[in-house]
A = this chain, B = another copy of it.
Amino acid sequence: MKIRKLYNRIAILRQERGISRKELAEKIGVNFQTIGYLEREEYNPSLDLAFRISEVFGLPIDFIFSTKPLKPLSQVLIEKF
């Protein structure tokens, strides 16, 4: 299976909550550098890791991750008006 690059909102969600990668990594049970890789989208998480992130943020996987580049949350929100 030829890999497909995935996109995510990890960086913004983490910043919204005002925590560092190290803190997020601890909540998730993963090395803090792994968070860096994911935020830079250098590789895709396993489904298990995606679920952990989803659980920490309390948001569904499809909201955090996408096969297509993600619009800024502000724009998504305004489109709901």
Contact = CB atoms under 8 A, between A and B. Distances in A.
A16 interface: no
A57 B62 CA distance: 14
B48 A50 contact: no
A69 interface: no
Interface residues of A, number: 23
A49 B1 contact: yes
A24 to B, nearest CB: 14
A66 B5 CA distance: 23
A65 B47 contact: yes
A29 B1 contact: yes
A32 interface: no
Given A6-B51, A55-B67, 11 more contacts: A1-B30, A1-B34, A1-B49, A3-B48, A6-B47, A6-B48, A44-B46, A50-B50, A50-B61, A60-B62, A62-B62
